[in-house]
Amino acid sequence: MEIRKAIIPVAGWGTRRLPITKIIEKSMLPVGNRPLVDYSVQELIKAGVKDIYMIVSNVEPCQVRAFYRDNLALNLYLNERGKTDKLEKAKTLPDDVRIHYIAQDPSAKYGTAVPVAMAVEEYDINEPVFVYMGDDFIWNPNGKSSAEALMEAVKDENESALFAVDHPYEALLNGGALTVEDEKVVKITEKPTPEQVTGLTSVSKYILSPKMLQEIVEYVHENDFGSTDQEYMITDPFATYINNGGVMRVAQTDGEYLDGGTVEGWLHANNIVLGE
C-alpha cells in the first residue's frame, strides 16, 4: 500500500528545553548537522511521501519554514564563490515534495490530537497518512526504517498501525505502554508507571486510517477541556477506535528511538548519530 501524505506537528514552546527554545524551535535543535525534525522528514520522503502537513506555531519568524525553502541569497553566494558542490547540501527538500504549513495558536487547545485534527480538516484528508511527531526519530541507518515497517504492518487502508520499541522505562520520554494480542493493540496506557511498562511501548510514529482520522476530529470537537485543564491526547480516540472494532497493528524495527525533548535525550541522540 502506498502512502503519499504525512502529518508532522512541530508547534509548541518546547518548555522542557528552556532557555534554548526561547530562540530555537524544539524541532530545529541540531542533532549532528541536521535539525531533529529532518530525520523524520527524510525518512518519510524515502518511503514515498510527497505531501507533508506541518503544524507550526503562529509565532514568526518560523525557523522550520526557513529551513525547508530555498535560500536564494545563499545559493547566489555559493555560485559566485565557486562552491557549487555545497548547493546539494543547501537544498533540503526535493522538487517533487511539498510541505503545507498550518499555524496553531499555542494558547488554544493543546495535545497530540489537536494538530492532527487541524491538518485533516484544513486539507480534507480522507486517506491513510503517516503521523510523526517532530522532536524524536528512529535511528536505523543500516536497516529497515520505521516508515517501511509501518507500511508492511497494515494489510489495507482500513487498518492503522503504530511503531513500538522494547524500551527500558528510564529511557521512555514519550509514548505509552502497550497491551498487544496477535500483533494488534488492545490497550495503550498513557504516561505509565514503571510497573505498567512490561513490554512494548509506543513512540508516536503512526499510520492512521481514514476512520481513525475522523475519530480524532470528532474527539477534538466533541470535548471542551479548556485551554489548560487537560491535554487532548491522541491515544483517547485510539482507544475509541480499537473498542469499536478498528484494527491497530504493531510494527517494530531494530532501530534506536532517540528524543530531543530533554537535554539528556538530545545529548544521547547526538552521541549515537555521530558515532561516539
Better-predicted residue by pLDDT, 90 or 169: 90
Cβ neighbours of residue 265 closer than 8 Å, sequence gap 6 or more? 173, 258, 259
**If we measure between CA atoms, which residue out of 3, 21, 2 comes closest to residue 11?**
21
Q: Is the pLDDT of residue 189 over 60?
A: yes
Where residue 169 falls among pLDDT bands split at 50, 70, 90?
very low
Q: Dihedral of the CA atoms 37, 118, 93, 135 (nearest 10)?
A: 0
In this prediction, residue 4 carries a pLDDT of 97
What is the reported pLDDT for 171?
A: 46
Q: What is the mean pLDDT of residues 247-264?
A: 88
- Worst-scoring range by mean pLDDT, 12-16, 241-245, 270-274? 12-16
Domains and CATH numbers, the chain: 5-273 (3.90.550.10)
Residue 164 is predicted with a pLDDT of 85
The pLDDT score that the predictor gives to residue 113 is 94
Instruction: Kindly report, residue by residue over 2-52, the tens digit of the pLDDT.
Output: 999 999 999 988 888 899 999 999 999 999 999 999 999 999 999 999 999
Report pLDDT for 167. Answer: 61
User: Can you say how many angstroms the Cα of residue 13 is from the centroid of all Cα atoms in its chain?
Assistant: 16
Query: What's the pLDDT at 42?
Result: 95
Report field, pTM of the whole predicted structure over 0.85: yes
Sign for the pseudo-dihedral over CA of 64, 89, 205, 99: positive
Q: Would you say residue 206 has pLDDT above 90? A: yes
% residues pLDDT > 70 (the chain): 91
What is the pLDDT at residue 255? 83
Please report which confidence band the pLDDT of residue 105 belongs to, taking 50, 70 and 90 as the band edges. confident
Mean pLDDT of the chain: 88
